Amino acid sequence: MAGTAYVVGTFDTKAEELHYVAGLLRAAGLAVVTVDVGTKTPDGNADVAADRVAASHPDGANAVLAAGDRGQAVTAMTQALLAFVAGRGDIGGIIGLGGSGGTSIVAPALRSLPIGVPKLMVSTLAAGDVGPFVGVHDIMMMYPVTDIAGLNRLSRTILANAAHALAGMMTQPPPTPVDARPALGFSMFGVTTPCIQQLTARLGGDYECQVFHANGPGGRAFEAIAASGMLRAMVDITTTEAADHLLGGVCTAGPERLDVVARTGIPWVGSCGALDMVNFWAPDTIPDRYRGRLFHAHNANVTLMRTTADEMETIAAWICAKLNASAGPVRLLLPEGGISALDAPGQKFHDPAADATLFAAFERHFVAGPHHQLIRLPYHINDAAFVAAAEGHVRAVIG
């Protein structure tokens, strides 16, 4: 079943466009509910009026409609729409239309929907940085080219494309999986790619392998999928985002990285992949405090900085504090031969002394127990022998 298509926006300013989209969706054979999230004069022509949405606010409708200024009203309506959406059981997909205010109201509701539910936002902000609106969710952002301020030959075409995109997503479900293999999540960076490619090849016959790029958004997506219960275990070989978070790099996944392990107790097998580096953009973007450090130009736009022994001590303590809080099985694998492709004999970041400090710090801070194990392995992280050992531990924690 396709479910119901929800068309959401501020009907006090964009009713014509919203009704146009709703009509196209109905013409495509979908049941449609229009929802007004306007905070000015109610349009009165949506299936769900603004005051009804506002009534879903934890403090009642007046928290939205009697707010002191527009900014307060938009913030309150955002909360109200989140609560309204949470209480609906028939949502098959949502399309929102908006400028800055409408996008701010609708986007959090889109992020609250489960992954896989069609969600589309036509926004005048979609040509810029959409990260704050999308987060790590499967939201389709479409730029309307013209402002959403009346129908014309251009806006009709773009809004029709948006409506038909939602209709297609809702009426054409993804193919049914051909098997029921449990899913495993993997973290990977370019410098740990050989490890993950070998590991997924070895495990792929029994498990569906989902690989996440450890570049910040990838780590957040990895953890969001784990938190949703869609993964049987996390194979977190590449924890480099911790280094970027602690040292100001551009590939940080934020302070919440690894929190899902403690929060859910999901089985975790991981390593210290790429903790030898912090990521920055072009050289002129590197903070002054790091001038004179050892760098590697990954490409014209990305510069890698080698972490020091002291920094690796801090990183190890931070990671261990997260892992120690988990009630689930944890296997932390330390590849003594090197932790990235750049940390190997003859490579620019090869520094056995710094790595030794890292491994010793993990030994000090990691709390071992019946279900929490730290394993030193005399291999490089990309070696076949390390991969074979990792495979064994993954299979062991899954049982």
CATH of the domain at 282: 3.40.50.12030
**Hey, is 144 helix, strand or coil?**
coil
Nearest to 215 by CA among 277, 160, 158, 139: 277
pLDDT value of position 301 = 93
Helix (H) or strand (E) holding 295: strand 295-297
**Hey, is 250 helix, strand or coil?**
coil
Strands 233-236 and 208-213: unpaired
Of the three residues 171, 202, 224, the one that is the final residue of a domain is: 171
* Domain annotation covers residue 177: no
> How many C-alpha atoms does 337 have within 13 Å on its Cβ side?
13
* Whether 271 and 299 share a structural domain: yes
pLDDT value of position 140 = 98
Q: Are 35 and 6 in contact (CB under 8 A)?
A: yes
Residue 244, token pair as written in the block: 């970027």
User: Apex CA 111: angle with CA 278 and CA 219, to 5°?
Assistant: 20
* Whether 251 and 199 share a structural domain: yes
* Whether 197 and 92 share a structural domain: no
**Number of domains forming the structure of the chain:** 2
Strands 208-213 and 183-188: parallel
pLDDT confidence bin for 10, thresholds 50/70/90: very high
Beginning with the edge strand found earlier in the chain, give each strand of the sheet holding 208-213 in spatial order. Answer: 208-213, 183-188, 233-236, 268-271, 330-335, 372-377
Question: What is the residue-wise DSSP string for 270-291?
Answer: EE-TTTTEEEESSGGGS-GGGT
* Whether 393 and 309 share a structural domain: yes
Read off the amino acid at residue 388: A
* Whether 251 and 384 share a structural domain: yes
**Hey, is 299 helix, strand or coil?**
coil
Of the three residues 171, 192, 226, the one that is the final residue of a domain is: 171
* Whether 391 and 266 share a structural domain: yes
Helix (H) or strand (E) holding 31: strand 31-36
**pLDDT tens digits, 265-306:** 999 999 999 999 999 999 999 999 999 999 999 998 999 999
> Is 42's pLDDT higher than 70?
no
User: Apex CA 216: angle with CA 209 and CA 372, to 5°?
Assistant: 60
Average model confidence (pLDDT) across the chain = 96
* Distance from the Cα of residue 322 to its chain's centroid: 19
* Domain annotation covers residue 196: yes
Q: Are 166 and 141 in contact (CB under 8 A)?
A: no
* Whether 40 and 103 share a structural domain: yes
Q: Round to whole Å and give the CA distance between 203 and 184.
A: 9
pLDDT value of position 350 = 98
Q: Round to whole Å and give the CA distance between 193 and 304.
A: 17
* Domain annotation covers residue 178: no
pLDDT confidence bin for 44, thresholds 50/70/90: low
Least confident of 144-153, 174-183, 196-205, 339-348: 174-183
CATH of the domain at 138: 3.40.50.12020
* Domain annotation covers residue 254: yes
Continuous H helices in the chain: 11-27, 50-54, 62-65, 70-86, 100-112, 131-134, 153-171, 193-203, 217-227, 241-247, 259-264, 309-324, 352-365, 384-398
pLDDT confidence bin for 41, thresholds 50/70/90: low
* Whether 156 and 188 share a structural domain: no
* Whether 367 and 285 share a structural domain: yes
**Hey, is 269 helix, strand or coil?**
strand
**pLDDT tens digits, 371-381:** 999 999 999 99
* Domain annotation covers residue 364: yes
pLDDT value of position 173 = 85
Of the three residues 171, 196, 224, the one that is the final residue of a domain is: 171
Strands 277-280 and 268-271: unpaired
Nearest to 6 by CA among 21, 16, 39: 21
Q: Round to whole Å and give the CA distance between 122 and 144.
A: 6
How much of the chain is helix, strand and coil, in % rounded to 5? 40, 20, 40
* Whether 252 and 381 share a structural domain: yes
Q: Round to whole Å and give the CA distance between 207 and 148.
A: 46
* Whether 331 and 195 share a structural domain: yes
60: left (phi over 0), alpha (psi -120 to 50) or beta: left
**pLDDT tens digits, 163-184:** 999 999 999 988 877 778 999 9
**Residue 369 belongs to domain spanning:** 183-398
State the burial class of residue 94 (Cβ atoms within 10 Å of its Cβ: 0-12, 13-18, 19+).
buried
Least confident of 41-45, 124-128, 152-156: 41-45
* Whether 325 and 260 share a structural domain: yes
Nearest to 315 by CA among 386, 270, 365, 269: 365
* Domain annotation covers residue 176: no
Q: Round to whole Å and give the CA distance between 378 and 366.
A: 19
Residue 97, token pair as written in the block: 């239309």
For tokens 């030959």, name the residue. 153
